[in-house]
């Protein structure tokens, strides 16, 4: 998986939104597959038009650190999952809760270039990630 700084740099080099969409699809293709048993009702993200599944693993510590995996059945959405995971995965729970995903999506131009349904799905993914971070803090 690519680092979020590399993704930001790559987006800045692409002027045309058609090229950016192709890049998002490419990011999705690079996303590791989730095992079939990880794609279930418990990991499914509600609020997404496409099917999206997110899993989290928490590393004990003070504060706990979370690693995320994800999958979607739609090419562009799978790329959006890859961007969200690059932004959040590997961070501590407090860092996740403080991180401004909306600012990142604005910087990448995703908000104004995605359909409202995809934007809502992206917000649902972020909400799920933040909920997992809150849960990790509560059980730490």
**Active-site amino acid positions:** 48
- Reference 132, options 96, 90, 86; nearest CA is 96
**CA 82 – CA 68 distance, rounded (Å):** 10
CB 122 within 8 A of CB 46: no
**CA 114 – CA 121 distance, rounded (Å):** 10
């Amino acid at each position: 998986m690519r680092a979020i700084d590399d993704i930001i740099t790559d987006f800045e080099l692409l002027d045309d939104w058609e090229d950016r969409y192709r890049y998002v699809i490419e990011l999705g293709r690079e996303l590791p597959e989730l095992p079939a048993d990880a794609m279930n009702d418990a990991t499914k993200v509600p609020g997404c038009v496409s099917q999206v599944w997110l899993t989290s693993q928490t590393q004990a510590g003070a504060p706990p650190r979370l690693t995320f995996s994800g999958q979607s059945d739609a090419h562009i959405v799978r790329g959006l999952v890859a961007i969200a995971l690059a932004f959040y995965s590997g961070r501590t729970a407090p860092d996740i809760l403080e991180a401004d995903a909306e600012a990142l999506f604005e910087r990448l131009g995703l908000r104004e270039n995605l359909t409202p349904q995809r934007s809502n799905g992206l917000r649902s993914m972020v909400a799920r990630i933040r909920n997992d971070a809150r849960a990790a803090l509560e059980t730490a």
